[in-house]
Each structure stands twice: as C-alpha cells, then as structure tokens.
Amino acid sequence: MPQAQSIKKIVRNHKNQWLLIHVIDFDRKKTLPLTGQLLAHSKERSEIHQKELQVHEKHNWLTFTLFAGDPLPKGYAAIF
C-alpha cells in the first residue's frame, strides 16, 4: 500500500488524470480530504469507477474520486 500523501501532492503528480484516493485524514469542519493513499489513476473515468467498485467490495474505506486537471479545455465554456 502506498504511503499517505497530501491530496495536493497527489493531484500535482497526476495531472489530467482521474484519481481514486483512500482518504486517511480530512478537515472535519470543511469536510475536505487532506491526506490519502492513491489507489488508482487513469485518463479513463470508467477504469477508476471499476476500481472503486472493487475497493468498496473489500473495504469499508472513505474514498475520493476526482479529475486532476482543468475541467474545461481552453476555448470551451460552461453554462449553468
């Protein structure tokens, strides 16, 4: 099992990929993850989803899934 690292460091080291992180510590007031162990990373969200299902079958862990990059490429816009 990889060592726990800050979420910021994990994100910085895996730009433009989907990440599945086992949350080790989080800010209880803000409910934000602070440190964790990287369980999987991929450019494909579906691969992370499959790994997430496998993890939750075996463990009762708090996990965090996120995309470590710009949500919108340059030249795109979002309307809400």
The rounded Cα 33 to chain-centroid distance in angstroms is 10
Tens of pLDDT, residues 25-68: 999 999 999 999 999 999 999 999 999 999 999 999 999 999 99
Cα–Cα distance measured from residue 8 to residue 5, given in angstroms and rounded to the nearest whole number? 8
pTM comes to: 0.86
| Position 2 confidence tier, pLDDT thresholds 50, 70, 90 | confident
Q: Report pLDDT for 77.
A: 80
Tens of pLDDT, residues 6-32: 999 999 999 999 999 999 999 999 999
